[in-house]
Structure 1
Amino acid sequence: MPRPFIALAALVAVGTLTGCASDNEPTNASETQAAEPETFTVVGAIKVVDRDGIDLNFMDDLNVGDECTTNPGYGDIAAGAQVTVLDSKGEAVGVGSIGDGELTVDGFEMLGGGSANGVTEGCKFPFKVEDIPEGGNIYSISVGMRPDYQFTRDEALSLTLVLG
């Protein structure tokens, strides 16, 4: 009796062990990662440079880096406003929002007495849109009532849209 019983037990054990592995399940981490789509992040800012578009009621008290807002003509450019990234077909592939505005001064050229020449004041609103699927080179940003702004994949980490 020991011989047939041992043979049957060995057959059951081999069948049980081979049944544990499935052809449909990945066997290592690289196979699992390959199934996930690659994505990237769009990082940029919208800068309003039109003096009439920026609320500068207290200009004497404002400093670079202070929070700023826009006037009604630019009311669609404000903290919390939606930013949509579109693919080359015009389909939405990601959504983010605009952050708080920050007063900026660009083009500073200090001359002899500390005066500034070529100063451009602006209210800069940062934005970030994450998890944009890879697969194209041309994308566009849609913000408020503004025309879409086209950009390439290579420009995605440093966009600046200037209004005004």
Structure 2
Amino acid sequence: MRHLIAILMLLLAPPALAQGVSVGDWGAVRIGERCHVFTTRAARDTSGALVFQFSPGGYDAAFYYEYSPWSPDEDTPWDDIDEAVLEIDGVETWLGDEMWLEAWPAGGRGDLTAGFVGDVLAAFAGAQQDIGMVIRRNRLGEDWLYGLFSASGYREAMQAAGEMCGFDPYNLPAS
């Protein structure tokens, strides 16, 4: 009986409403009460996505890099002593110092300390070409480019998210 009720609830529930835009290599969508701005593709031989999230009014802003490998057979992509590096147009920024990395077999994620989302927004807005997510592989003494993303469409997608969730992307409230 419980299964029948669950199936009926799924069939009778209204579909989730989502509105969104895609501009250049970036997209913006509002799902429920949250707005998301994200890369729609990575450069050749790189992978993953850059993602911003906002609550209405721009509160609870978050930024992260989600690594998605090409093959499910990959090992853990980085070690616990490795460091995140964010590059703008090929130039290393200090913003990666404010990220922490998690990894699991065939995947990983780098999250930014919440208080620095505004700094990342401003840095990305200044990008002329691309944004790179590099992992400094400390045991190996090497820097590995995991994701390279075009800046094309970033400003427009961020503006669309601001309109959808009622905030100024470059003047976030204190969360």
Same fold, TM-score > 0.5, yes or no = no
Q: TM-score, normalised by structure 2?
A: 0.33
- The structure showing larger relative contact order (alpha-carbon pairs under 8 Å, at least 6 residues apart) is 1
Q: TM-score, normalised by structure 1?
A: 0.35
